[in-house]
Structure 1
Amino acid sequence: MFDAFPFNEWSDKIADFWTFGGAESTGTWIMTALGFAVCMISFVLFIRLENRKLDHQAEVLRATGALDRPPDAPAATE
C-alpha cells in the first residue's frame, strides 16, 4: 500500500495547532467521549422525531378511515 504521509516529520509542534493536545492526551479522550455522546443523543432524538411523525400519520389515516379498509379494497371516490 502506498503511504506518502510524512509521519517522521511530525513533532510536538503539531499539538500547538490543536487545542486539546496531541495523540494519547486527555483532550483526545474528552473529544472522543463528547463526539460519541453527541452521536448517541442525536440518534435517539432522530428516532423520537420519526416515531412522532409516524404516530401523527397513523392518526391522520385513522381519521380518514384508510386503516379500516382491507388492503385490496379501492379508496372511496367522491
Structure 2
Amino acid sequence: MDKNEEKAVVDRINFLYHKKENEGLTAEEEAERKELHKKFIDNFRAGFRQQVENLVIVDKHGKDVTPEKVKRIQRKKGLRKD
C-alpha cells in the first residue's frame, strides 16, 4: 500500500469511527470498517517486519550481533553475503 492509499484508508477509518460515535453504523459500514482496519494492520505488520528483517545489530566493539534467524532471512533475500 502506498502513502496515498494508506492515507485514504486511515481517513475512511477515522470517518467511520466518528460516525459510529455520533450516529451508529449500518451493517455494511461496520463490515467496511472491519475490512479497512484489517488492511491497515496487515500493512503495518508488513512494514514492521521489513524493518526488522533489514536490521543489523552491532555491539560497542563493532561486532555484528544480529540474531541468526534475521541473518538467515537477510541471506535468503540477498541482503547478506556472509
TM class, shorter-chain normalised? 0.3 to 0.5
Higher relative contact order (CA 8 A, sep 6+): 2
Q: Give the TM-score taking structure 2 as reference length.
A: 0.41
Q: Give the TM-score taking structure 1 as reference length.
A: 0.43
